[in-house]
Amino acid sequence: MKQSTYTFHYIENCEMCGADTSDNPVLGSRLNQSQGLSPKSKTGISVTILKCKNCKLIYSQPLPIPETIQDHYNTPPELYWGQEYFTVNDHYFSEEIKIVKSLLSFTPGMTSLDIGAGLGKCMRVMEKAGFDPFGFEPSIHFYDRAISKMGIPKDKLQLGMIENVTYPKNKFDFITYGAVFEHLYHPSESLEKSLEWLKPRGIIHIEVPSSKYLIARLINFYYKIRGTNYVTNISPMHMPYHLYEFDLKSFEKLGEKLNFKIEKYQYYVCEIPFIPKILKPLFRYFMHLTNTGMQLTVYLRKQ
């Protein structure tokens, strides 16, 4: 993969709560590659990682923005996961659909939008669940495979980024970001735009990396005792290109501005890397008890 060319944007106000960033605490530095156990032995470009004092959003200062979005997401999906990724199992997105149906008082034919639709797997299961699904995808390779391999109709799937796609106001009952929100350069502006597409009392579902993740804090402590100022939070210049980590307060503060309510939230432990297998049940129990898992999921209702 060719090296990306970046412009670096200084963030003056927090992307979620809007607070001034000038005196936010510095967590450390993040390289433009996987850092491993000994980041001091590696060379590259680094950015400073900060945490918002007001809403606990973790972000880089400055924000690296590639010359084109395809610099980050132009890899064919087969190289990410292999052919097995093109199958849809019976449990895919099933928990989320159950929750959304209960929050919407679901009736068949309600409209849904998948932001960052990927291969269209979520669109497939949403249709099976009785929704009328739409979506858009910025990666041309994923867009092509969604149509050619997953059978997604062209009139239901757009190619583009949230900044340049359009839909009528108040069109959708349900919008999902899935694992997309942390990749957006301006998440609050993106959410504001998607709220215009959402019907009043509609639901938006968002999954994001949690800024309270226990394993990240342990890795940061390890780096510190090794005498470095590196941290493992986010990855703005290498895969998976995460630009932000979020706290529940990030959405609470943004909800005051954009007029949405957090209807439901959940923390998920997900994977527990670097921990001996015998200790993983104990860590899983503790992380579940303290809401320090890898992923935060929120369900937002438009007021």
pLDDT in tens, 114-163: 999 999 999 999 999 999 999 999 989 899 999 998 999 999 999 999 99
274: closest CA among 230, 213, 228, 208? 213
End-to-end CA, the chain: 44
Distances (CA, A) of 6 to 71, 72, 142, 237: 10, 11, 23, 9
213: closest CA among 164, 283, 141, 282? 283
Report whether 253 contacts 17 (CB < 8 A): yes
Residue ranges of domains in the chain: 6-70+211-245, 80-208+260-302
Report whether 264 contacts 203 (CB < 8 A): no
The chain-wide mean pLDDT, for the chain, equals 94
For residue 196, name the pLDDT band (cuts at 50, 70, 90). Answer: very high
Q: Is the pLDDT of residue 77 over 70?
A: no
pTM greater than the 0.75 cutoff: yes
Q: Is the pLDDT of residue 81 over 90?
A: no
Assign 302 to helix, strand or coil: strand
Neighbouring residues of 208: CB distance < 8 A, sequence distance ≥ 6: 179, 181, 182, 244, 245, 246, 295, 296, 297, 298
Reading the block at residue 98, the tokens are: 């159950």
Rounded CA gap, 134 and 155, in Å? 8
Report whether 152 contacts 120 (CB < 8 A): yes
List pLDDT tens digits, range 254-265: 999 999 999 999
Report whether 137 contacts 145 (CB < 8 A): no
Q: Is the pLDDT of residue 175 over 90?
A: yes
Q: What's the average model confidence in pLDDT over 102-106?
A: 97
Question: Residue 68: its pLDDT value, please?
Answer: 78
Question: Residue 1: its pLDDT value, please?
Answer: 46
Chain-centre distance for alpha carbon 4: 21
Q: Can you give the C-alpha Rg of the chain in angstroms?
A: 19
Q: What's the average model confidence in pLDDT over 226-241?
A: 95
Rounded CA gap, 264 and 258, in Å? 17
Q: What's the average model confidence in pLDDT over 8-36?
A: 97
Q: Is the pLDDT of residue 4 over 80?
A: no
Percent of the chain with pLDDT over 70: 94
Question: Residue 75: its pLDDT value, please?
Answer: 65
Rounded CA gap, 144 and 70, in Å? 14
Task: Respond yes or no on whether the N-terminal peptide bond of residue 240 is cis (omega within 30° of 0).
Answer: yes
Q: What's the average model confidence in pLDDT over 241-247?
A: 97
Bridge partners (DSSP) listed for residue 19: none
Q: What's the average model confidence in pLDDT over 53-64?
A: 98
| Backbone dihedral angles phi then psi of residue 270, each to the nearest 5 degrees | 60, -140
Segments in the chain forming alpha helices (H): 70-73, 77-81, 94-104, 121-128, 140-148, 187-197, 214-225, 248-258, 280-290
As assigned by CATH, the class of the 80-208+260-302 domain is: alpha beta
What is the CB-side half-sphere exposure of residue 71 using CA atoms within 13 A? 16
Reading the block at residue 75, the tokens are: 């890899």
Neighbouring residues of 251: CB distance < 8 A, sequence distance ≥ 6: 16, 206, 262, 265, 298, 300
For the ranges 35-44, 54-63, 199-208, 281-290, the lowest mean pLDDT is seen at: 35-44
Which of 188 and 2 is assigned the larger pLDDT?
188
For residue 177, name the pLDDT band (cuts at 50, 70, 90). Answer: very high
